[in-house]
Amino acid sequence: MALSDLSPAERHRQITAVFTDRVRGTEQWDVPAPVDGWAARDVVRHLVEWLPGFLAAGGGVDLPKGPSADEDPVRAWEVQATAVQALLDDPQTATKTLANPHIGDVPLDQAIDRFYTSDVFMHTWDLARATGQDERLDPEECAVLLAGMKPAEQMIRASGQYGAAVPVPADADAQTQLLGFIGRDPHWKA
C-alpha cells in the first residue's frame, strides 16, 4: 500500500521509523546539512521545535517535552516521535480540529499529517545526506508530495519555508524533482 493511502497514524509510523533510523545512525551531529546554515543537529532541532507551538496554538495540544536537540538530539527526536504517534493513535484526535489563520480549520490528524509528517519525510533526505546514510525516499510519496505542492508554489515560496527551486532535468526521478522543488540541490555535498 502506498504511503499516501495510509491513515495519518500509520503514515506517521512508517515515515518516522525511517527518520528515526537515520537519527540513530548519526555519529556526528555538527556536520553541515543541505539546508543553508544548518548542521545535522539542526534538522532534528527544526522538527522538534516548530511542531509543539503549532499544536498548542491551533489545537490546544501540549506535547511532552524531551531534552533539546543540543543536549541529546536522539532522545529529543524519540520523545517527540513517540508523543506524536500516541496522539495520532488516539481515536479522539480525529474528532479534534486545529485552527490556524493561514490554513483555516483542519481536522487535527490531517493537519499533523499534511504539515508535520510530510516535513519529516522531506527532512529525512537532509539528515541522510548530511550524515552519509541511505538517502532514498519513497518514490511514490515524492511524486504525491510534489503534485500537491506545485499548484501552491507561489504560496509555498512566499511562506519563507522553502528556498528557491533548484533546476533539475525534466526527466529526473520523482525524488530529484521534489528535492529541486523544495530548494535542495540533489547533488549537494558537505
What average pLDDT score do residues 107-112 get? 96
Calculate helix-pair angle for 73-89, 40-59, nearest 10 degrees.
30
pLDDT at residue number 160: 81
pLDDT at residue number 156: 87
Q: What are the structural domains of the chain?
A: 3-137 (1.20.120.450)
Whether 162 and 156 have beta carbons less than 8 Å apart is answered as yes
**pLDDT class for 1, splitting at 50, 70, 90?**
confident
pLDDT at residue number 157: 87
Residues 6+ apart with CB under 8 A from 184: 34, 35, 125, 126, 163, 166
> Which amino acid does the sequence have at 2?
A
Q: How many CB atoms lie within 10 A of CB 33?
A: 24
Instruction: Say how far residue 78 (Cα) sits from the centre of its chain.
Output: 14
pLDDT at residue number 189: 92
If you write DSSP's letter for every residue of 112-167 in order, what string do you get? IIIIIIHHHHHHHHHHHHHHTS-----HHHHHHHHHHHGGGHHHHHHHTSS-PPPP
* Residues 124, 16: Cα–Cα separation, whole Å: 9
55-109: per-residue pLDDT in tens? 999 989 999 999 999 999 999 999 999 999 999 999 999 899 999 887 889 999 9
9-62: per-residue pLDDT in tens? 999 999 999 999 999 999 999 999 999 999 999 999 999 999 999 999 998 999
* Residues 32, 41: Cα–Cα separation, whole Å: 9
Q: Which of 134, 145, 133, 135 is nearest to 177 (CA)?
A: 145
Residues 6+ apart with CB under 8 A from 94: 107, 108, 109
Q: How many CB atoms lie within 10 A of CB 164?
A: 7
Whether 174 and 143 have beta carbons less than 8 Å apart is answered as yes
